[in-house]
């Protein structure tokens, strides 16, 4: 099993999309291993988006992600990284397919509703930014019996 990190960004929280978004991850069969509503600090935002620090959109990205509460999630599944990226859709909602979160709910790249890690390594790094070890739970998840042969 693989773990990934996902975030419902401030626009998703303010637009009351939290339940709808989490329902999509759950319906796919991803186990919610960690979840909290929280205010992202400037330090956490800087760590999270360190790879983009030189990009012109970086200041806007940090102010967006810190502009209000977010929901931080640790999701687990057989191919959780790839599955959650697929459910979220393309970075720019303009290019995101209908049926994806960004395709269904977003209109521009600077308000793209959700985040998800792009690799297992990024996931481990990002989970550690937002969660203490004891906030990520291991427990039996009965749907796995019906999800996998």
Question: Residues interacting with ligand DAT, by CB under 6 A?
Answer: 52, 57, 61, 91, 109-110, 112, 115, 118
Residues 102 and 87: their CA atoms lie apart, in Å, by: 9
32 binds, among Mg ion, ligand DAT, none (CB under 5 to 8 A by kind): none
Nearer to Mg ion, 104 or 118 (CB): 118
Nearer to ligand DAT, 46 or 109 (CB): 109
Nearer to ligand DAT, 56 or 146 (CB): 56
Least distance from ligand DAT to the Cβ atom of residue 136, Å:
21
Phi, psi of 131 (to 5 degrees): -130, 140
109 binds, among ligand DAT, Mg ion, none (CB under 5 to 8 A by kind): ligand DAT
Query: What residues are paired with 115 via a beta bridge?
Result: 7
The string of DSSP codes covering 94-142 is TTSPTTSHHHHH--SGGG--EEE-SSHHHHHHHHHHH--GGGS-----T
What is the separation, in whole angstroms, between the first and last Cα of the chain? 14
Q: Considering CB under 5 A, how many residues would be counted as binding Mg ion?
A: 1
């Amino acid at each position: 099993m693989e773990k990934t990190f996902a975030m419902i960004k401030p626009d998703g929280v303010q637009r009351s999309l939290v339940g709808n978004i989490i329902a999509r991850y759950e319906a796919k069969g991803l186990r919610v291993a960690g979840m909290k509503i929280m205010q992202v600090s400037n330090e956490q935002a800087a760590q999270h988006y360190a790879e983009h620090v030189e990009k012109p959109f970086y200041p806007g990205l940090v102010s967006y992600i810190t502009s209000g509460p977010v929901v931080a999630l640790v999701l687990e599944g057989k191919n959780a990284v790839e599955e959650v990226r697929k459910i979220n859709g393309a970075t720019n909602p303009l290019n995101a397919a209908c049926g994806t979160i960004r395709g269904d709910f977003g209109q521009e790249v600077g308000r793209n509703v959700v985040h998800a890690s792009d690799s297992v390594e990024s996931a481990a790094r990002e989970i550690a930014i937002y969660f203490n070890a004891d906030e990520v739970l291991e427990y039996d998840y009965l749907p796995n019996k019906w999800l996998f042969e």
